[in-house]
Structure 1
Amino acid sequence: MIHRLVQILITLPLAVLIIAFSVANRAPVRVSLDPFGSGDTALSVSVPLFLLVLGCLLVGVLVGGTAAWLSQGKWRRRARLSREEAARWRHRAGEADRKLPAAPGLPALRR
């Protein structure tokens, strides 16, 4: 419930800001991919400013997320190996528990 309320309190104003930014910056701008000649229209495109800004923001989020995911690979691998090792030890403990007879007067350790 609280999580949903916080999500709405953050998402709604952010959406309003993005919509207001998009409406205010509809004018087209020319983006040229040629660093030496700005007059060549073959390597340029005209797009609305808000699309350019939001597109750059999206690319930045994707590149940053990918970099973070790749840099955390060793920790995910370590966690996976630890889970597998814990499963092996649980299996061995279960096997040992089944093989050992219960001592007289003590409760069995079976789960």
Structure 2
Amino acid sequence: MRRIFNVLILIPLAIVLIALMVANRTSVPLSIDVFNPGNPALTYQAPLFVWLFVAAAIGVVAGGFGAWLAQGKHRKQERTYKREARQLRHEVEKTKRTNGDNSATGTSLVLQR
């Protein structure tokens, strides 16, 4: 499976990225000062592909952070379910000990959400 992934995804992606790097190797300025774009203190020179890769990396990180925030309610719900299951397991063990029953045949525990 990993070999198929490498052949079908990574190799064509590498070819496209190398072509992008070769085609966009001219140095371009990035000015951070929006009011005075000619300010040399806040203007950085780098090849265009560097700026493209930086923008893509920032997008991946921002997207991952957004997905992590969106899934917070699911993680909280999972913690609640695990806590509830642990409490129920302890209750079952306590009931078994008090009744002196060591076998679990014929009994079932049904959780309803």
TM-score normalised by structure 2 residue count: 0.81
> Which ranges in structure 2 are unaligned for 5 or more consecutive residues?
106-113
| Residue in 2 that maps onto 1:62 | 61
Which range is displaced more, 44-53 or 16-25?
16-25
| Residue in 2 that maps onto 1:81 | 80
Letter in 2 for 1:85: E
| Residue in 1 that maps onto 2:31 | 32
Q: Percent of pairs identical after alignment?
A: 38
Q: Which runs of 4+ in 1 moved over 3 A?
A: none
Inter-partner Cα distance in structure 2 for 1:40 and 1:101: 83
| Residue in 2 that maps onto 1:5 | 3
Letter in 2 for 1:12: I
Inter-partner Cα distance in structure 2 for 1:99 and 1:68: 47
Alpha-carbon displacement from aligned partner over 1:44-80 (angstroms, at most 9, x marks no partner): 0101100000100100110111111012112101101
Inter-partner Cα distance in structure 2 for 1:16 and 1:96: 64
Which range is displaced more, 54-63 or 4-13?
4-13
| Residue in 2 that maps onto 1:48 | 47
TM-score normalised by structure 1 residue count: 0.82
Q: Secondary structure at the match of 2:20?
A: helix
Q: How many aligned positions are there?
A: 104
Alpha-carbon displacement from aligned partner over 1:10-42 (angstroms, at most 9, x marks no partner): 122112211221122111001111223232212
Out of 103, 106, 109, the position equivalent to 1:108 is 103
Instruction: Check 1:6–1:79 CA distance in 2 against 1; reply closer, same or farther (3 A cut).
Output: farther
